Amino acid sequence: MELALLYSGGKDSSLAALLLDEFYDVRLVTAHFGVTDDFQHAREAAAELGFPFETVTLDESVAEDAVEQMVDDGFPRNGIQRVHDHALETVAALAVDAIADGSRRDDRVPTVSRAAAQSLEDRHGVDYIAPLSGFGRHAVDDLVAANLAVETGPSETVPKADYEGELRAILADRHGDDAVDEVFPDHEQTYVHGRR
């Protein structure tokens, strides 16, 4: 069965791919707005892991609305959730049997509620799978340490292909560099360089 996994090149989506590979023909899919070429980082990580890779282009107006919501809120959570929901809808429209992401049990954002997952499945005729939804942070970290070569560091320095890089670029363009620091808290990102 064909499965499209939303893929950033980070540890969570990479671990999700490894877990699902036993049961599905996994295709890693990076959703982007075409604002930056960050999706290339995911392409390289996918190649290192040996998975097929493709991109889908998202509606840039969703990113623009998400950025304005972040500015209004003063934090990124709701804007990132909006983009993730749009990305899932876009990937669900592909000709696949199932879609998945790397969301974990402990994630604050993005999340997919049971009702949202069922709605997505019913409307698109796909299965939605969150293989890490039963795993806490420590369990994920242990599995990652045993199976993946990972670079970890501040979000602004680690290569990545999640939504954040493009949202930061739009935010800086519309509201200035200081707005990025005001909206996004300091946090670490991961980038997968291959299997151990």
Q: Can you spell out the DSSP letters for 145-159?
A: HHHEEEEEEETTTS-
pLDDT of residue 140: 96
49 phi and psi angles, rounded to 5 deg: -85, -15
Tokens in use for 178?
A: 């200081």
pLDDT of residue 177: 94
pLDDT of residue 157: 87
Nearest Cα residue to 28 out of 44, 190, 110, 133: 44
**How many helices and strands, by DSSP H and E, does the chain display?**
8, 7
Place of tokens 């049971």: 114
196 residues of the chain, pLDDT tens digit each: 999 999 999 999 999 999 999 999 999 999 999 999 999 999 999 999 999 999 999 999 999 999 999 999 999 999 999 999 999 999 999 999 999 999 999 998 999 999 999 999 999 999 999 999 999 999 999 999 999 999 999 988 888 898 899 999 999 999 999 999 999 998 889 999 999 9
pLDDT of residue 187: 86
Q: Which residues of 111-137 are buried (b: 16+ CB within 10 A; e: fewer)?
A: bbeeeebeebbeebebbbbbbbbebee
Query: In angstroms, rounded to a whole number, what is the distance separating the alpha carbons of residues 84 and 155?
Result: 18
The model's pTM: 0.95
pLDDT of residue 101: 98
